[in-house]
DNA sequence: GGTGAAACTTCTAATAA
DNA sequence: TTATTAGAAGTTTCACC
């Protein structure tokens, strides 16, 4: 694992790319008053260091008809079944995130569905997994995402 | 809101861009055996329709020293305080997502922190918000993200 | 480390089909 | 709607600070 030490310039590059990954390097260069070559080298380094893992589109799932979000807490019969159940959970594409957690639940996941009916199906699928004792659902009425940029700013303030 | 009807080609374009937003349109064109101009027009249309909201980098927060993830359920004294509390919560940059939920909690959020000590601080901040009755924390021991691509495939199968 | 310029690749908009 | 094309723009490398 490469040693990495991000400076103010790296920070600013990330800041711009976090908002729009297709921002031309020449634009970034102009803004930061450095050469496009430098931007290129810096980005490449951050990629090689594994800081930048990849890039992805942000899609509006509501417009695709998938407006329903819920969190489902999963209770297992035995903790030792965690790995097995997690593998089964990961086979359900509508489960977008799964966490092994301490606290109330053994596994905790987020699902993305079309509507309540569809969500019900997914939750039933989860319930049906061998080793799952019961589940507890929390339906999201409203999602508010904090800007990645703000987290980054806070992280960089401390680096 | 524009009417949108994505076909197989749009789907495949999204599929490629979801993995890497900087894939050159000419590469996409070659793969799909269409012209780069067509790719360009299609992407633009999806942006205008609001399907593609934006693009963002995926960063390795562990490498930045922020490996700690927890979910915090928030209980309010009165449901009517939801809006106010949500606003306060959104001021904490380490809270990356917040949901208003049905079920056990009133508000449910995800936090990203350096370590347990840092997480404790954030949770105390949450607890201190006026109107918050108490909180319940679940610490993530392991996160497994399902590929966005798989969700997309499932969505497209049904469209 | 960074730069600036050259060589190469890609984008984009207009035109044509 | 899609394809072509040519000028504009962006990327990447490299010799030189």
Q: CATH second-level architecture of B8-57?
A: Orthogonal Bundle (1.10)
At A4, the pLDDT band (50, 70, 90 cuts) reads low
Exposure string for A59-98, b = 16+ CB within 10 A, e = fewer: bebebbebebbbbbbbebeeeebbeebbebbbebbbbbbb
- Please give the share of chain A, as a percent, with pLDDT higher than 90: 84
Give the bases of strand C that a protein CB approaches within 7 Å. Answer: 1-5, 9-14
Top residue of B11, B92, B96, B144 to mutate, by most chain A CBs within 10 Å, is B144
Q: Is B113 on the interface with A (CB under 8 A)?
A: no
Chain A environment of B21 (Cβ under 8 Å): 21-22, 55-57
The whole-number pLDDT of residue A15 equals 92
Rounded Cα gap, residues A63 and B50, in angstroms:
8
Tell which residue, B33, B31, B59, B54, has the closest CA to residue B43.
B54
Per CATH, B8-57 and B68-139 having the same topology is answered no
Q: Is A86 on the interface with B (CB under 8 A)?
A: yes
The whole-number pLDDT of residue A158 equals 77
The whole-number pLDDT of residue B3 equals 45
B138/A108 touch (CB, cutoff 8 Å), yes or no = yes
Find the DSSP H helices in B33-89. 36-48, 82-89
Give the mean pLDDT of A100-111: 94
Is the CB of residue B73 less than 8 Å from the CB of residue B135?
yes
The whole-number pLDDT of residue B1 equals 37
The whole-number pLDDT of residue B86 equals 96
Chain A environment of B109 (Cβ under 8 Å): none
Give the mean pLDDT of A41-52: 92
- A2 pLDDT more than 70: no
Q: Is A3 on the interface with B (CB under 8 A)?
A: no
Give the mean pLDDT of B41-47: 91
B60/A71 touch (CB, cutoff 8 Å), yes or no = no
- Please give the share of chain B, as a percent, with pLDDT higher than 90: 74
B153/A64 touch (CB, cutoff 8 Å), yes or no = no
Tokens standing for residue B128: 């201190």
Which nt sits closest to B26, CA to C1'?
Answer: C10
Q: What is the pTM of this model?
A: 0.91
Fold of B68-139: Alpha-Beta Plaits (3.30.70)
Rounded Cα gap, residues B48 and B43, in angstroms:
9
Give the mean pLDDT of B51-68: 93
- A1 pLDDT more than 50: no
- A49 pLDDT more than 80: yes
The whole-number pLDDT of residue A7 equals 87
- Every domain of chain B and the residues it spans: 8-57, 68-139
The whole-number pLDDT of residue A145 equals 86
Give the mean pLDDT of A132-147: 94
- B64 pLDDT more than 80: yes
Tokens standing for residue B51: 């399907």
């Amino acid at each position: 694992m490469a040693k990495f030490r991000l400076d103010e310039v790296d920070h600013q590059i990330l800041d711009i790319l976090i908002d729009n990954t297709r921002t031309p390097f020449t634009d970034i260069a102009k803004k930061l008053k450095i050469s496009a070559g430098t931007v290129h080298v810096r980005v490449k380094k951050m990629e090689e260091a594994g800081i930048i893992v990849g890039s992805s589109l942000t899609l509006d799932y509501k417009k695709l008809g998938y407006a329903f979000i819920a969190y489902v807490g999963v209770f297992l019969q035995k903790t030792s079944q965690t790995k097995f159940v997690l593998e089964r959970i990961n086979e359900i594409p509508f489960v977008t995130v799964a966490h092994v957690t301490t606290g109330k639940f053994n596994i905790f996941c987020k699902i993305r569905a079309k509507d309540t009916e569809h969500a019900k199906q997914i939750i039933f699928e989860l319930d049906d997994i061998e080793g799952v004792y019961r589940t507890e659902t929390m339906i999201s009425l409203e999602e508010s995402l904090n800007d990645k940029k703000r987290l980054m700013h806070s992280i960089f303030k401390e680096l």
